[in-house]
Amino acid sequence: MSKYDIIVLGSGPGGYVTAIRASQLGFKTAVVEKENLGGVCLNWGCIPTKALLKSAQVFEYLKHAEDYGLKVKDAEHDFDAVVKRSRGVADGMSNGVKFLMKKNKIDVIEGFGKLKAGKKVDVDGKEYTADHIIVATGARSRELPSLPQDGKKVIGYREAMSLKKQPKKMIVVGSGAIGVEFAYFYNSIGTEVTIVEFLDKIVPVEDDEVSKQLERSFKKSGIKIMTSSEVTSVDTTGKGVKATVKTKKGEEILEADIVLSAVGIKSNIENIGLEDVGIAVDRDKILVNDFYQTNIPGYYAIGDVTPGQALAHVASAEGILCVEKIAGQHVEALDYGNIPGCTYCSPEIASVGLTEAQAKAQGYEIKIGKFPFSASGKASASGAKDGFVKVIFDAKYGEWLGCHMIGAGVTDMIAEAVLGRKLETTGHEVLKAVHPHPTMSEAVMEATAAAYDEVIHL
Question: In the CATH scheme, what is the code of domain 154-263?
Answer: 3.50.50.60
Residue 1 has pLDDT above 80, yes or no: no
pLDDT beyond 90 at 323: yes
Mean pLDDT confidence for 54-58: 94
Residue that wins the pLDDT comparison between 238 and 197:
197
Query: What average pLDDT does this structure show over 326-355?
Result: 97
Q: Between 177-188 and 208-220, two packed helices, what is the crossing angle to 10 degrees?
A: 20
The CA distance from 368 to 385, in Å, is 21
Residues 6+ apart with CB under 8 A from 445: 430, 431, 433, 435
State how far the Cα of 431 lies from the Cα of 444, in Å rounded to an integer: 9
Per-residue pLDDT tens over the stretch 120-160:
999 999 999 999 999 999 999 899 998 999 999 999 999 99
Task: Please identify every residue annotated as catalytic.
Answer: 437
Cβ contacts of 290 within 8 Å, gap of 6 or more: 333, 334
> Residue 43: pLDDT above 90?
no
* Average pLDDT of span 318-328: 98
Q: Is 98 exposed, middle or buried (0-12, 13-18, 19+ CB in 10 A)?
A: middle
pLDDT in tens, 151-185: 999 999 999 988 999 999 999 999 999 999 999 99
Residue 96 has pLDDT above 70, yes or no: yes
Mean pLDDT of 192-214: 97
Percent of the chain with pLDDT over 90: 92
Mean pLDDT of 344-373: 97
Lowest mean pLDDT among 21-25, 246-250, 285-289: 246-250
Rounded to whole angstroms, the Cα distance separating 167 from 151 reads 14
Q: Where are the domains of the chain?
A: 2-141+266-336, 154-263, 347-451
CATH number of this structure's domain 347-451: 3.30.390.30
Q: Please, what is the average pLDDT of the chain?
A: 95
The answer on pLDDT for 50 being more than 80 is: yes
The CATH classification of domain 2-141+266-336, taken from the options 3.40.50.300, 3.50.50.60, 3.10.310.40, 3.40.950.10:
3.50.50.60
Same fold across 154-263 and 347-451: no
Over residues 402-427, the mean pLDDT reads 97
52/291 Cα distance (integer angstroms): 36
The per-residue pLDDT for 68 is 94
Cβ-contact 321, 349 below 8 angstroms: no
Asked if 455 contacts 391 with a C-beta cutoff of 8 angstroms, the reply is: no
Q: What are phi and psi of 38, to 5 degrees?
A: 105, -15
